[in-house]
Amino acid sequence: MKGDRGSRKRRALLVVDVQPTFCEGGALAVAGGNDVAQRVADFATANRDRYAAIITTQDWHVDPGGHFSESPDFVDTWPPHGVAGTDEAELHPALDDVDIDASVKKGAYEAAYSGFEGVDDEGRTLAEVLDMYDVGCLDIVGIAESHCVKETALDARKCGMPVRVFTDLTVPVSAEQGEAARELLAARGVKLETSEQALLAH
Catalytic residue among 17, 59, 139, 155: 17
Q: State the Cα–Cα distance between residues 184 and 182, nearest whole angstrom.
A: 5
Supply the angle between the helices 175-187 and 150-158 in degrees, to the nearest 10.
Answer: 10
148 counts as catalytic? yes
Element (H, E) at 196: helix 195-201
CA distances from 102 to 47, 61, 122, 200 (A): 17, 19, 11, 27
**pLDDT at residue number 192:** 98
Query: For the whole model, what pTM was predicted?
Result: 0.94
CA 86 to mean position of chain CA atoms: 19
Catalytic residue among 23, 59, 105, 106: 106
Domains of the chain, CATH where assigned? 5-201 (3.40.50.850)
Contact status, residue 11 vs residue 50, Cβ threshold 8 Å: yes
**pLDDT at residue number 3:** 46
Q: Tens-digit pLDDT profile for the chain (202 aa)?
A: 444 554 567 999 999 999 999 999 999 999 999 999 999 999 999 999 999 999 999 999 999 999 999 999 998 999 999 999 999 999 999 999 999 999 999 999 999 999 999 999 999 999 999 999 999 999 999 999 999 999 999 999 999 999 999 999 999 999 999 999 999 999 999 999 999 998 887 6
**pLDDT at residue number 168:** 98
**pLDDT at residue number 120:** 97
Q: State the Cα–Cα distance between residues 66 and 78, nearest whole angstrom.
A: 9
